[in-house]
Structure 1
Amino acid sequence: MAAADRWDLTSLLNAADPAAPAVERHLWLIRLLEWLREPGPQSPFTEGDLPDESASTPWPVRRLKHLLNVLDRHPEHHQRIGDLLRTSLAGLDATGLLADFGFAPRQGFVSELADRVRLSCLPGTPQTRDLGELFRLLFNGEDDTSWLQAIDDATLLRFMALCQGETGDKAWRAAVIESIQLLASQMRAAGLAGPMRQRMDLSLMATRPFHQLVPAAEALRDELHEGTDALTRQQQAHYLRAVLATCREAAASVRQHLDEHGISVDVVFQVDQLQARGDRIEALLDCLLAPAPAAAPELRHLLVALVEAGQGRRGIRRLFAQHYGLLARKVTERSAETGEHYITRDRAEYRQMLVQAAGGGAIIGLTTVAKFLLALISLSVFWAGFWAGMNYAISFVVVQLLHWTVATKQPAMTAPAIAAKLENVSASDAALEDFVDEVAHLFRSQVAGIIGNLALVVPVVLLIQGAAWALAGAPVIGAEQAKYVLHSLHLAGPTVFFAAFTGILLFGSSLIAGWVENWFVFHRLDSAIAWNPRFIQVLGATRAQGWARWWRQNISGLAANVSLGLMLGIVPAIGTFFGLPLEVRHVTLSMGQLAAALGALGTDLLREPDFWWCLAAIPMIGVLNLGVSFTLAFRVALASRGLKLRDRGRVYTALRARLRSRPGSFLVPPPDQPAP
């Protein structure tokens, strides 16, 4: 706010008008909060206004005390401002603040995301009857919670007395009781909704706690209206708290089911909303049943909770972090289960990896030739990218179905498995040693994968080129295409950047694979395939169950392979549409293309520097493909588990010690190190 636009206390006192329209009174309240939040002294305080005040007391608290002291010395200002506060509060719906503020109006993650975008982008208006909307405009400072917590009890009670007057306490209690009933109704509706009810622990639902919640709140309201003794009210409140605790425990049990059977962001969001409403009811009960209706500690706790709720709904990043953190963990856990199959721990597994990778390299050799043939067809940019992506996707799926492997798909899957080994590194030397072992296993598995891929992709492509020369007198991939390969793969060009970009796509395919498998499990599609009457009628019971097992075992790999293939083809095409010169550089495909160029131009190419520059680019492409995808997957796995690598020094020291003592373990399994 510009200095010329600031209001000092004198201006505020003179502008206070209880008879002004509601929107002008609301604007006055906003200016009052802006004055309170001003940093440092705006004008010298009158002697005696702040006796023995600590320098650590926040300035908003000092100004609030100063205001109350000034009003005590000037009855005319005290009466006018008190009337303005009471008139404004009387015209506002308090349940909009106590029961609705900070909660999503609709039970869904996407709708809440849209609502938060609206709150972040569109300005609010003080022309409202909803106290919640006005509260958002009043308390919009980042430090509001800190200075509210610093208000002492006496100051808070003095200000509440100014707001309530002689009859305000009765209206306050009525609003609190009404808000408790509204919150109880909202919790019952959320808890009895199908997706929530079906996933709660049956033993916790046996007493029908959500059915009891509203009657318990209504019974407390009746006790308060009838003016029964304090002991009876406390007993009824204790019963409501007990029912509320059971409801919250039942809602928490939903997460256990999600961990076992898949995650829905909407269900997780509804659980969090239900728990937050339970917290709000507890805070309102504390205020309602305190020795004085406006007891300062309980009221201060409620105000701070309301301000925090408002700040929480302003944060889009916090929404993603809170709800997608759980989904990211489940996705990475499912990737970790898949990644275990890509890690070799003994010589038998190592040899098997070489064979599987060699088979994958042979398929990629055929894929390389098909890619060049598709390029001969004059297609638009999008359709050229689409069919290139389909070529990759079909090849990757064939590799999967034949139980072979492509090395570059391994890191994004193995990173979560490595991250799981970090959970106990801080507490145990044995865990640290296990982690180093796992890194060595992973590194040599990647080496075996790349060696196997490259060992067969080159001879397969050269064999096809040689067969074409022998049968047709011309290679499948001609000289012009070969020259383009030499130009595009040259190490001095953008090859390094495109290789890193390809690593990002490899990582993205692993996330898609985990998400698709989670979706498959959450919707119980394996059970539907196995037991759906129509499927059984068409396939037969035995075959239907076999198909269910097959899909459950292969859905992650299919999703990874299809998504990766399509992204490798379509994403560069989309980039071209937007003027972004994006291309992919996949180590096995690039080696196949270089072999095709050699088959087209002959052995004379070996005397050209460009060939050796392209050959030098191959290991760089491999390192970036593997390194970028592994790093991204590893970071997500750490974040999803809430892990922070505090002992980096210990980990690096242990890895260096292993390199010095047993460097060969990073390349081949030692004879005396069989799989555990």
Structure 2
Amino acid sequence: MFRSLKTFLKKWRASRNGGHQLDALLAIADMNAPYAERSEWLIELAHWLHRGGSLQTDASATSEIADDESRPIPAHTRVRYLLHVLDRNPAWKTNVAGILRAVLRESDGISLLCDAGMPVHSGFFGALFERAQSSLIPPAPNRRELSALFTLMFRSQQDAEWISSLPADLLARIRDLFDYESSEANLQPGGALSLDLLAAMHNLTCQISSTGLSQTVRSRLGETDTPDALDVRKALEKQPFYRLTRAMLAVEAAHHAVEASTDGENPGTGTEAVRLLHEVNYLRILLDECRIATDNVFSHLYRNGVSVDIVFQVERMRMRIVRAELLLDAWMAADDLHAGARLVAELVNANHASQSVAHLLRSNFSLLARKVVEYSADTGEHYIARDRAEYLKMLRMAAGGGLVTVVTVCVKFAITGAHLQSMFEGLLAGINYAASFLLMHFLHFSLATKQPAMTAPTLARELDGTGTREGMDNFVASVVALIRTQSAAVFGNVAVVFPVCLVVQLLWHGIFGANLISPEKAHATLHSFSLLGPTPFYAALTGVLLWSSSLLAGWADNWFVLHRVGDALAYNRRLRMTLGVAGATRLAGFCRSNVAGVIGNLTLGLMLGLVPAIVTALAFGFEVRHVTLSSGSIGVALGVLGKGAFHTPELWWALAGTFSMAVLNVAVSFALAFLMAVRSRDLRAKDVRSLRGAFLRHVLRHPLDLVWPVRRSREAG
């Protein structure tokens, strides 16, 4: 049989004649074949169901299928045709029904009901490796697990869609197929499924209770700053996770009492049935309370820092709660065919999601992304000018940042003029950048291109209200204010750094009779900034580095809060003895306010210096193209070359390249940060398109709003 099946499958897969293909497949169905062959036969049948294509049917089959809904789902049409062919061939139907019953009887159903879609490992990275491995090594058909068989039979989410939408008549005929010519010696599928559902619910409730009572979750269920030991014990006993296992045992005991009180034919209708219903309702209440407690854990994580592994464990617990409720509904509605179809569809969908690495990343990083975004929103709100006073303040801050950048440019030329080894030169340049950025931070100055990565996530808060007209208007007004602020910041930086660098070069030459850089270096500088060269590409990559620094800043803020470093500093014994209680508290507050800014500016400076050296050594040539630094470099080069530079095309191409830096530095860092903000809100693509359309309409009506805060900037766009 094995050789004949293999030979047939090879020929059958090469065929595309739908009706003849099915006849040949049904003809070799053998309910007495080994388990692996029966599994492989079911896999091929499932592939035939969702393959699509035309069917060659006889007149009666065509009439029956035509009676289906006006626009039938292709899989439904194929199921109907399959059942029609089996009704016309009783021998084939007997073997198919026997295969279905035998597979259910000989397979581990709990693996599907309880474990499908649930990661096995307790940590995020273990689950990530598990999914990557399963995508490379699919399960073998001889594994006696329904989850493995479902993985091989149903390979897309479309399978879940057509299963959940099966019409009532097809569901009834499928149920009759399972019961066709079943003998008393065979275990009935309905009874086996009920036992599997009960065992799976028992397994899930034990796992939910274990995770909920763990220190990781228990410490985040409520505020427990100063309770005494008795209050802790009482609080523990009141937790739904503590009572969940006993409630499940009570349901099982009531179920067994109902079975014992019936004669096997009529359902229990006495006190045992009432008790069962009472225990089931109590279990539902506890599961709902567990879900609420899980939401409280996420709220605690959101306020007090996020850990990827903790998010993973809590998210897995929530998935188990949802699965337990789904299984409980299916168990109580055993005669509802649509409920059974929805359960199977959900299991198919969950089993498919459990194989997806992208689904794991998307589901477990959303809260972390939201936390990082919210840090940036808190910081970036100070860098959005919404009125004229804030606009003028931003100009002053940007002018201060440009003044600091003058020193940075001069030190950079001194470092490059030393002709050091590239990696060491990159390290010194990174230290130079980091020192200047930190100085700007503590002096409350502004660097234009660093702002978009910090300010774009501020808009994420307003994304929550874009479902209304007022929320959409507020979002558009914030985007316009952000672009207007960036224009002011770029202008403030460049308006100071360019002329001051030019003056510094002229003064240096007038006092010392020498130039900061040689004429050859000046020409090379202008040529390197040309729009005709790789400048736009380098400017875009620099925007990525700017965004990365804001991401690291958000991570640092999250780490500081998650590990309660502020409390550790405030209550540190040595700090209290040295600085006093008030001094230690002020130090903790200072660190809390500045840790993200320090880490962000420090990493940005080091990346601007070291990343180009590393990328150039390992991959391709890469240089930083930052609009403020480049403007200062052009100012120095122009001071060296004199008025004659105005008559050379290289100066004008360099100025055009600098303009492209301003656009790309800001646009790329803003786009990446805003994309992360959108992901943290789980917005759909059509929602993002509607936001973009509203913004464009506003710009077309009020273009001056992008450069100056006129009074109508808050009107609907």
Q: How does the TM-score come out when normalised to structure 1?
A: 0.89
How much has 1:464 moved relative to structure 2?
4.7
Is contact 1:68-1:158 (8 Å) kept? Answer: no
How much has 1:496 moved relative to structure 2?
2.4
Aligned to 1:658: 702
The count of corresponding residues between Structure 1 and Structure 2 is: 667
Summarize deviations over 1:443-478 as a string: whole Å, max 9, x none: 443333223322432354345545654565432322
Is contact 2:157-2:349 (8 Å) kept? Answer: no
Q: 2:671 aligns with which of 627, 631, 636?
A: 631
How much has 1:545 moved relative to structure 2?
1.5
Counterpart CA distance in 2 for 1:116 and 1:216 is 34
Q: Secondary structure at the match of 2:141?
A: coil
Q: Does 1:23 align with 2:54?
A: no
Aligned to 2:352: 311
Q: Does 1:588 align with 2:588?
A: no
Counterpart CA distance in 2 for 1:77 and 1:658 is 73
How much has 1:403 moved relative to structure 2?
1.7
Counterpart CA distance in 2 for 1:554 and 1:650 is 36
Summarize deviations over 1:330-371 as a string: whole Å, max 9, x none: 322221221121123455544443332222222211111222
Moved more, 215-224 or 157-166: 157-166
**Does the C-alpha gap of structure 1 residues 423 and 288 become closer, same or farther in structure 2, counting only changes over 3 Å?**
closer
**Does the C-alpha gap of structure 1 residues 585 and 285 become closer, same or farther in structure 2, counting only changes over 3 Å?**
same
**Does the C-alpha gap of structure 1 residues 129 and 504 become closer, same or farther in structure 2, counting only changes over 3 Å?**
same
Aligned to 2:196: 175
Q: Does 1:499 align with 2:539?
A: yes
Is contact 1:436-1:655 (8 Å) kept? Answer: no
Q: Secondary structure at the match of 2:373?
A: helix
Matched letter for residue 215 of structure 2: G
Aligned to 1:157: 175
Aligned to 1:416: 457
Q: Secondary structure at the match of 1:182?
A: helix
**Does the C-alpha gap of structure 1 residues 606 and 170 become closer, same or farther in structure 2, counting only changes over 3 Å?**
closer
Matched letter for residue 215 of structure 1: R
Aligned to 1:355: 396
Counterpart CA distance in 1 for 2:475 and 2:524 is 44
Q: 1:407 aligns with which of 436, 443, 448?
A: 448
Q: Does 1:300 align with 2:341?
A: yes
Aligned to 2:241: 210
Aligned to 1:620: 660
How much has 1:84 moved relative to structure 2?
3.1
Q: Does 1:256 align with 2:299?
A: yes
Counterpart CA distance in 2 for 1:528 and 1:138 is 54
How much has 1:399 moved relative to structure 2?
1.2
How much has 1:65 moved relative to structure 2?
4.3
How much has 1:304 moved relative to structure 2?
0.7
Aligned to 1:115: 130
What are the equivalent positions in structure 2 for 1:480-519 lying under 5 Å apart?
480-519=520-559
Q: Does 1:367 align with 2:408?
A: yes
Aligned to 1:219: 250
Q: Secondary structure at the match of 2:60?
A: coil
Identity %: 38
Is contact 2:38-2:99 (8 Å) kept? Answer: yes
Q: 1:457 aligns with which of 497, 506, 510?
A: 497
Is contact 1:263-1:522 (8 Å) kept? Answer: yes
Aligned to 1:100: 115
Aligned to 1:320: 361
Aligned to 1:554: 594
Moved more, 541-550 or 267-276: 267-276
**Does the C-alpha gap of structure 1 residues 165 and 597 become closer, same or farther in structure 2, counting only changes over 3 Å?**
farther
Is contact 1:85-1:163 (8 Å) kept? Answer: no
Q: Secondary structure at the match of 1:644?
A: helix
Counterpart CA distance in 2 for 1:616 and 1:64 is 65
Counterpart CA distance in 2 for 1:124 and 1:178 is 24
**Does the C-alpha gap of structure 1 residues 474 and 309 become closer, same or farther in structure 2, counting only changes over 3 Å?**
same
Moved more, 394-403 or 265-274: 265-274
Is contact 2:236-2:242 (8 Å) kept? Answer: no
**Does the C-alpha gap of structure 1 residues 582 and 159 become closer, same or farther in structure 2, counting only changes over 3 Å?**
farther
Q: 1:644 aligns with which of 688, 707, 710?
A: 688
Aligned to 2:269: none
Is contact 1:119-1:314 (8 Å) kept? Answer: yes
Is contact 1:205-1:250 (8 Å) kept? Answer: no
Aligned to 2:14: 3
Counterpart CA distance in 1 for 2:388 and 2:567 is 38
Q: Does 1:84 align with 2:99?
A: yes
Q: How does the TM-score come out when normalised to structure 2?
A: 0.84
Is contact 2:434-2:603 (8 Å) kept? Answer: yes
Q: 1:244 aligns with which of 277, 284, 287?
A: 287
Is contact 2:157-2:348 (8 Å) kept? Answer: no
Q: Does 1:267 align with 2:310?
A: yes
Q: Secondary structure at the match of 2:702?
A: helix
Q: 1:54 aligns with which of 45, 68, 72?
A: 68
Summarize deviations over 1:84-118 as a string: whole Å, max 9, x none: 33333333211111111111112333222222222
Aligned to 2:230: none
Matched letter for residue 412 of structure 1: A
How much has 1:498 moved relative to structure 2?
2.0
**Does the C-alpha gap of structure 1 residues 376 and 648 become closer, same or farther in structure 2, counting only changes over 3 Å?**
closer
Counterpart CA distance in 2 for 1:141 and 1:647 is 31
**Does the C-alpha gap of structure 1 residues 672 and 109 become closer, same or farther in structure 2, counting only changes over 3 Å?**
closer
Matched letter for residue 172 of structure 1: L
Aligned to 1:126: 141
Aligned to 1:393: 434
Matched letter for residue 158 of structure 1: D
Moved more, 397-406 or 539-548: 539-548
